[in-house]
Amino acid sequence: MRVPLLDLSEQYRALSKEVEAATREVLSSQRFILGPKLAEFEKAAAEYCGAPHAIGVSSGTDALLAVLMALEIGIGDAVITTDYSFFATGGCIARVGATPVFIDIDPDTYNISATALRRYIDKNCHVVEHGLVNENHQLIRALVPAHLFGLCCDMSEMLAISREHNLILIEDAAQAIGAEFPLGRAPGRAGTMGDAGCFSFYPSKNLGAAGDAGLVVCRNEQFAKRLRVCRQHGMEARYQHQFIGGNFRLDELQAAILNVKLPRLDGWSAARREAAQFYTEEFKRAGLEKNIKLPVEPYAQSGLRNHHIYHQYVIRSPRRDALREHLGKREIETAIYYPLALHEQPCFEYLGYKVGDFPAAERAARESLALPIYPEIPREAQQYVVNCIAKFFG
């Protein structure tokens, strides 16, 4: 049986009439940039996320970049982030000229470790009047945790640390739209707990466009205005550029498609969660817990529906590469997110990190394996995956 990592064809079949009508409408209007479809999407996305402001941008990467640029974070600044994420999380920090400071992850959740972060601050930083300065005399301007695989990181800790040290809190929520965190009485939604939240609508995401698209959400009205200017090359009045921004606009065709899909998002995320539950139960039933580490659900008892949205279902094994090969031979597609921790990337060599600096992230890079998951994945396909893994360890 062939089991793809992701199959979007069934989703498209169900939506094709609506998607095609929406795109035809845009084509007929010949309005492609900053039109009514984007305005409609921004309103709906702000409501969905529970954020006062939502600004459509051209990708998740550009969401991060626009936020950093709008904050004038750059040369001489440092920004703290996780060592284990998609490249853009760290790459954008370097792209604006700031220094990324990587922090090890929690080995269970794959998200930034609050303990490691506090340790870094205690050991390497000193407090000055307006914030924190590191051992390289750089002012630490921001903290960028990523909610990896659809699970929020410990936002109570991220908020406490950022408030304590006057850090701007930018959530990389590219993989976590709709994911919730038990934050006091009111649940916190991914992207809305910090100062800004960045989302990606890359086609494989839980909410995927038909190309590249992204979003920033924020609470502060002035900052939202600045982001809108930033996504148009820092231009407020026509051809008057207040500051340097970029072409970070989300186009009408993508917005029209996202408008069709957004109302279905919670249903898709619930279906992913059910598929994840099936995997977990079947792995346990097959006695595989001793062989593979299963995903954790730290907020499952919180009463929150979207305590995990399973953008990915990631297992871990020291025999990962052999297991992957075994599954590949049986036509089961898997993926490695990510084969290198950020400090191991050749382009970050100049930062001077070395092997062993972040053991949990390094281990995750060597051992993690993403299994096929998508809302419509058939249970027989999942059972086949479980059986093939059982045979490998058999």
Ligand X SMILES: Cc1ncc(COP(=O)(O)O)c(C=O)c1O
Nearer to ligand X, 105 or 388 (CB): 105
Contact yes or no for 108/294 (Cβ under 8 A):
no
What is d(CA 116, CA 143) in angstroms, rounded to the nearest whole number? 13
Provide the CB-side half-sphere exposure for 154 (13 A, CA).
16
State both tokens at 148: 């990896």
Q: Return the number of other C-beta atoms located less than 10 Å from residue 80's C-beta.
A: 27
Site residues (vs ligand X, CB under 6 A): 59-61, 85-86, 88-89, 146, 172, 174-175, 200, 202, 212, 214
Least distance in angstroms from the C-beta of 392 to ligand X: 28
Nearer to ligand X, 202 or 348 (CB): 202
Nearer to ligand X, 204 or 383 (CB): 204
Nearer to ligand X, 90 or 187 (CB): 90
State both tokens at 59: 């990708």
Least distance in angstroms from the C-beta of 286 to ligand X: 30
Least distance in angstroms from the C-beta of 254 to ligand X: 11
Least distance in angstroms from the C-beta of 85 to ligand X: 5
Nearer to ligand X, 153 or 174 (CB): 174
One-letter identity of residue 164: E
- DSSP codes of every residue in 272-297: HHHHHHHHHHHHHHTTGGGTSBPPP-
What is d(CA 325, CA 282) in angstroms, rounded to the nearest whole number? 21
27, β-bridge pairs:
none
Contact yes or no for 375/313 (Cβ under 8 A):
no
State both tokens at 203: 């086609």
Least distance in angstroms from the C-beta of 250 to ligand X: 11
Nearer to ligand X, 84 or 283 (CB): 84
Exposure string over 371-383, b if 16+ CB within 10 A, otherwise e: bbbbbebeeebbe
Least distance in angstroms from the C-beta of 213 to ligand X: 7
- DSSP codes of every residue in 338-358: -SS-GGGSGGGGGG---TTSS
Nearer to ligand X, 202 or 392 (CB): 202
What is d(CA 189, CA 306) in angstroms, rounded to the nearest whole number? 9
Cis peptide bond upstream of 313, omega within 30: no
Place of tokens 């871990």: 316
Least distance in angstroms from the C-beta of 171 to ligand X: 10
Residue nearest ligand X, CB atom distance: 60
Least distance in angstroms from the C-beta of 80 to ligand X: 15
Least distance in angstroms from the C-beta of 381 to ligand X: 24
What is d(CA 314, CA 130) in angstroms, rounded to the nearest whole number? 40
Least distance in angstroms from the C-beta of 212 to ligand X: 6
Nearer to ligand X, 142 or 386 (CB): 142
Place of tokens 């207040």: 242
**Alpha-carbon distance values, 64 to 68, 193, 231, 257, 359 (Å):** 6, 16, 12, 22, 26
Nearer to ligand X, 370 or 389 (CB): 370
Nearer to ligand X, 172 or 282 (CB): 172
